[in-house]
């Protein structure tokens, strides 16, 4: 099992040291990849990055500096995630690795510190949902459209907290890059993992990478390095992990790919998805367009945008930002001439890294602006101002929209040739759940001595279903390691946060006490609290609520 941390490595180091640990259980399995705030050249950020690098050097951890790329891209590109394995990372989009048949899932920073110290990780096996992709995509319809449509069409939490197993005859026609995009955005769909099968297409893809890179990393320390190599690939593809015959699924969903048209997600929610031809009427003007992120900024995505913009210019009044998923991706796109095509069209380049995807650095959405992005999240405030509007689409649609200044498809997309369905054909079959075996109390882990049996404290009401990570604690604050608890509290309870609603609505009324141990504020959330979040630390700052709730 490999474990990746990024800009949040600093807080994980602090956690690790606070556990009175000084030695990593297995440094070979860790990766530090600095990717989120890479445009930030402040002394504070550079010092933070230097400290992470020094820790990596001291402990023998593989380290990827700012500018090398987005952690998830590096984990796949450098062969840390490979079929049939499990990889965790302290980032919500660890589902990404499912694109190469690897079980990827997110952990929080505290989990990461625990893993560093003990090498162990407990994972509650989630319910498993089978998603069958049938038929074949029409020309101009992409993997991004598949996941945007799935999240919008199955938007009643059908896969919430489930692990998805993708199956079906349509998969063989979906490229590995597209599978990575789909797996990546299973996070937004609500799943904890989304895994594609190991097939010949995947094997071929790996063979291509082997040929190109000569598996450069093997020269480091050969077989002992926990990365993919020829022998490991051979072992995996011959074993081809598959579900047991007669395996039980919580439910089975299906999408007929041949009935799908390009889809656009939003505004400001992945639960809303609209067929592009419908969304184009009346035209929606945009101010900014983005081809950045681990979701859709690989060489094939850049090539797709370049094909649309070749010989064209970004529309007046529109800014189009591009950042490759990694420096190697950028090298490939430069070698193919695609990077220059986008620059010639007027695109503004950013360093390989997250940047605007998480609302950091230049080019963010300003108040009242509309943006279209090939990233994975369009939540309020995610890519800039909370009063901006964000849509998500494929790289080709993003590039076409940048050129015309309104949301649209590329000129090459023949709308008349697209499948004529009002809605793609989907189905859902709920399986009868098998009775859960009675828990053997004796087999449970005992509580640690002194761990309270009950908790008590005033209740803080969060009256918002599907409260997202960005709705509670925007990314721009997440990577300020020196932020004070008081300032965190201000953000969590601030005007643009949903918890502010509690402040206005409930005042002092909702303060029942429950039996317990120590009076600390308890959150009373509605459905799906902090949807998709691994940013839990700010919640601990509710202890300062009295400053904000009269
Ligand atoms: S989703 Fe965006 S912020 Fe998160 S890892 Fe990917 S590029 Fe970075």
CA 112 to chain centre: 17
Per-residue confidence (pLDDT) for residue 222, from 0 to 100 = 54
Q: What is the pLDDT of residues 364-391, one digit of tens each?
A: 999 999 999 999 999 988 999 989 999 9
Q: Among the ranges 18-27, 131-140, 493-502, which has the highest mean pLDDT value?
A: 131-140
Reported as type and span, the H/E element at residue 288 is: strand 288-291
Q: Ligand 1 centroid to 92 CA: how many Å? A: 8
Q: Ligand 1 centroid to 434 CA: how many Å? A: 37
Position with higher pLDDT, 110 vs 323: 323
Q: Ligand 1 centroid to 20 CA: how many Å? A: 31
Least confident residue range of 169-173, 431-435, 543-547: 543-547
pLDDT at 492 over 70: yes
Q: Ligand 1 centroid to 377 CA: how many Å? A: 9
Least confident residue range of 6-15, 313-322, 432-441: 432-441
pTM of the predicted model, to two decimals?
0.90
Q: Ligand 1 centroid to 294 CA: how many Å? A: 6
User: How far is Cα 396 from Cα 307, in angstroms, rounded to an integer?
Assistant: 8
Per-residue confidence (pLDDT) for residue 226, from 0 to 100 = 79
Of all protein residues, whose CA lies closest to atom 7 belonging to ligand 1?
A: 293
Per-residue confidence (pLDDT) for residue 129, from 0 to 100 = 98
When pLDDT is averaged across residues 235-259 and rounded to a whole number, the result is 93
Atom of ligand 1 nearest to the CA of 325: 7
Cross-strand bridge partners of residue 263: 275
Q: What is the pLDDT of residues 24-77, one digit of tens each?
A: 999 998 999 999 999 999 999 999 999 999 999 999 999 999 999 999 999 999
Top mutation candidate among 34, 324, 376, 468 for ligand 1, by most atoms within 8 Å of CB: 376
When pLDDT is averaged across residues 320-348 and rounded to a whole number, the result is 98
Q: Ligand 1 centroid to 410 CA: how many Å? A: 26
Atom of ligand 1 nearest to the CA of 377: 1
pLDDT band at 333 (very low <50, low <70, confident <90, very high): very high
Q: Would you list the DSSP string of 430-473? A: EPPPPPPPPP-GGGSPPPPTT--S--B--EEEE--TT-BHHHHS
User: How far is Cα 254 from Cα 427, in angstroms, rounded to an integer?
Assistant: 5
Ligand 1 neighbours (beta carbon < 6 A): 35-36, 70, 72, 91, 93, 293-294, 354, 357-358, 375-376
When pLDDT is averaged across residues 487-508 and rounded to a whole number, the result is 57
Q: Do domains 1-123 and 263-412 have the same CATH topology?
A: yes
Atom of ligand 1 nearest to the CA of 292: 7
Main-chain phi, psi angles of 441, to 5 degrees: -55, -35
pLDDT at 304 over 70: yes
Per-residue confidence (pLDDT) for residue 517, from 0 to 100 = 40
Domain 1-123 in CATH 3.20.20.10: no
Per-residue confidence (pLDDT) for residue 546, from 0 to 100 = 56
Position with higher pLDDT, 222 vs 274: 274
User: How far is Cα 237 from Cα 83, in angstroms, rounded to an integer?
Assistant: 8
When pLDDT is averaged across residues 272-281 and rounded to a whole number, the result is 96
Looking up tokens 């077989």, which residue turns up?
223
**Helical segments of 176-293, H only:** 176-184, 186-189, 200-213, 218-221, 230-239, 276-279
User: How far is Cα 424 from Cα 254, in angstroms, rounded to an integer?
Assistant: 10
Q: Is the dihedral of CA 360, 185, 347, 266 positive or negative?
A: negative
pLDDT band at 253 (very low <50, low <70, confident <90, very high): very high
Query: 3-state class of 499 per DSSP?
Result: helix
Q: Ligand 1 centroid to 438 CA: how many Å? A: 40
The two structure tokens encoding residue 541? 């700052």
Nearest to 146 by CA among 273, 231, 309, 252: 273
Output the CA angle 379-381-384, nearest 5 degrees.
125
Top mutation candidate among 357, 468, 477 for ligand 1, by most atoms within 8 Å of CB: 357
pLDDT at 512 over 50: no
User: Where do the domains of the chain lie?
Assistant: 1-123, 263-412, 449-547
Query: 3-state class of 5 per DSSP?
Result: strand
The two structure tokens encoding residue 114? 């625990």
pLDDT at 200 over 60: yes
Helices (H) and strands (E) in the chain, counts: 19, 19
Main-chain phi, psi angles of 24, to 5 degrees: -75, 145
pLDDT at 539 over 90: no
User: How far is Cα 334 from Cα 314, in angstroms, rounded to an integer?
Assistant: 19
pLDDT at 409 over 60: yes
Return the number of other C-beta atoms located less than 10 Å from residue 448's C-beta.
Answer: 6
Of all protein residues, whose CA lies closest to atom 2 belonging to ligand 1?
A: 357
Q: Ligand 1 centroid to 510 CA: how many Å? A: 37
Per-residue confidence (pLDDT) for residue 57, from 0 to 100 = 97
Reported as type and span, the H/E element at residue 54 is: helix 43-59
Domain 263-412 in CATH 3.30.499.10: yes
Per-residue confidence (pLDDT) for residue 457, from 0 to 100 = 65
Residue 38 exposed, middle or buried by CB count within 10 Å (0-12, 13-18, 19+): buried
Of all protein residues, whose CA lies closest to atom 8 belonging to ligand 1?
A: 354
pLDDT band at 122 (very low <50, low <70, confident <90, very high): confident
Query: 3-state class of 348 per DSSP?
Result: strand
Of all protein residues, whose CA lies closest to atom 6 belonging to ligand 1?
A: 294
Per-residue confidence (pLDDT) for residue 489, from 0 to 100 = 74
The pLDDT mean for the chain works out to 88
The two structure tokens encoding residue 140? 């101009």
Top mutation candidate among 354, 355, 363, 474 for ligand 1, by most atoms within 8 Å of CB: 354
Per-residue confidence (pLDDT) for residue 139, from 0 to 100 = 96
Q: Is the dihedral of CA 45, 49, 54, 56 positive or negative?
A: positive
When pLDDT is averaged across residues 183-187 and rounded to a whole number, the result is 98
pLDDT band at 469 (very low <50, low <70, confident <90, very high): confident
The two structure tokens encoding residue 138? 């029409």
Q: Ligand 1 centroid to 353 CA: how many Å? A: 8
Atom of ligand 1 nearest to the CA of 92: 4
Q: Ligand 1 centroid to 72 CA: how many Å? A: 8
SS3 assignment for 468-516: EHHHHCCHHHHCCCCCCHHHHHHHHCCCCCCHHHHHHHHCCCCCCCCCC
pLDDT at 542 over 70: no
Looking up tokens 């008081």, which residue turns up?
486
Atom of ligand 1 nearest to the CA of 297: 7
pLDDT band at 237 (very low <50, low <70, confident <90, very high): confident
Least confident residue range of 126-140, 270-284, 474-488: 474-488
User: How far is Cα 109 from Cα 10, in angstroms, rounded to an integer?
Assistant: 10
Least confident residue range of 45-59, 224-238, 310-324, 477-491: 477-491
Per-residue confidence (pLDDT) for residue 5, from 0 to 100 = 94
Position with higher pLDDT, 483 vs 218: 483
When pLDDT is averaged across residues 509-515 and rounded to a whole number, the result is 40
Least confident residue range of 218-222, 284-288, 448-452, 477-481: 218-222
When pLDDT is averaged across residues 316-344 and rounded to a whole number, the result is 98
Cross-strand bridge partners of residue 256: 134
pLDDT band at 516 (very low <50, low <70, confident <90, very high): very low
pLDDT at 508 over 90: no
Per-residue confidence (pLDDT) for residue 509, from 0 to 100 = 39
Q: Ligand 1 centroid to 74 CA: how many Å? A: 12
Atom of ligand 1 nearest to the CA of 357: 2
When pLDDT is averaged across residues 198-203 and rounded to a whole number, the result is 96
pLDDT at 235 over 60: yes
pLDDT band at 520 (very low <50, low <70, confident <90, very high): low
């Amino acid at each position: 099992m490999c474990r990746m941390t990024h800009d949040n490595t600093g807080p994980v180091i602090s956690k690790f040291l606070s556990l009175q640990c000084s030695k990593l259980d297995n440094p070979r399995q860790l990766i530090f990849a600095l990717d989120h705030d890479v445009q930030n050249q402040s002394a504070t950020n550079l010092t933070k990055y230097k400290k992470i690098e020094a820790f990596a050097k001291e402990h023998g951890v593989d380290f990827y500096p700012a500018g090398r790329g987005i952690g998830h891209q590096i984990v796949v590109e450098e062969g840390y995630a490979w079929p049939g394995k499990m990889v965790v990372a302290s980032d919500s989009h660890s589902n990404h690795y499912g694109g190469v048949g690897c079980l990827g899932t997110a952990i929080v920073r505290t989990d990461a510190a625990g893993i560093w110290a003990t090498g162990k990780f407990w994972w509650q096996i989630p319910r498993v949902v089978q998603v069958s992709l049938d038929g074949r995509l029409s020309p101009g319809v992409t993997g991004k459209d598949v996941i945007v449509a799935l999240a919008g069409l199955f938007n009643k939490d059908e896969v919430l907290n489930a692990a998805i197993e993708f199956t079906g005859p349509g998969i063989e026609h979906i490229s590995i890059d597209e599978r990575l995009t789909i797996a990546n955005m299973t996070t937004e769909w609500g799943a904890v993992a989304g895994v594609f099968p190991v097939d010949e297409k995947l094997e071929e893809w790996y063979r291509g990478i082997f040929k190109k890179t000569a598996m450069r990393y093997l020269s480091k320390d050969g077989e002992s390095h926990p990365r993919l190599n020829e022998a490991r690939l051979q072992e995996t593809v011959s074993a081809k992990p598959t579900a047991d015959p007669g395996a039980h699924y919580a439910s089975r969903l299906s999408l007929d790919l041949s009935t799908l048209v390009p889809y656009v997600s939003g505004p400001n929610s992945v639960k809303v998805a609209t067929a592009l031809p419908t969304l184009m009427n009346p035209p929606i003007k945009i101010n900014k367009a983005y081809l950045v992120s681990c979701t859709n900024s690989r060489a094939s995505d850049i090539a797709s945008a370049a094909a649309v913009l070749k010989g064209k210019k970004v529309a007046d009044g529109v800014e189009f930002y591009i950042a490759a998923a990694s420096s190697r991706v950028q090298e490939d796109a430069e070698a193919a001439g695609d990077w220059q095509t986008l620059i010639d069209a007027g695109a503004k380049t950013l360093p390989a890294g997250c940047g605007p995807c998480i609302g950091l650095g230049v080019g963010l959405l300003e108040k009242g602006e509309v943006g279209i992005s090939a990233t994975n999240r369009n939540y309020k405030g995610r890519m800039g101002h909370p009063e901006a509007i964000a849509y998500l689409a494929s790289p080709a649609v993003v590039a076409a929209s940048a050129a015309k200044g309104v949301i649209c498809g590329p000129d090459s997309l023949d709308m008349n040739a697209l499948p004529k369905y009002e809605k793609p054909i989907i189905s859902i079959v709920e399986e009868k759940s098998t009775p859960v075996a009675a828990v053997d109390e004796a087999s449970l882990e005992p509580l640690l001595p002194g761990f309270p049996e009950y908790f008590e404290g005033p209740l803080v009401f969060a009256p918002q279903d599907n409260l997202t990570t960005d709705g509670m604690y925007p990314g721009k604050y997440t990577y300020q390691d020196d932020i004070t608890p008081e300032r965190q509290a201000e953000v969590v309870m601030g005007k643009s946060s949903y918890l502010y609603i509690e402040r206005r609505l409930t005042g002092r009324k909702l303060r029942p006490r429950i039996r317990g141990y120590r009076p600390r504020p308890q959150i009373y959330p509605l459905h799906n609290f902090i949807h998709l979040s691994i940013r839990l630390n700010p919640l601990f700052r509710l202890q300062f609520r009295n400053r904000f709730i009269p």
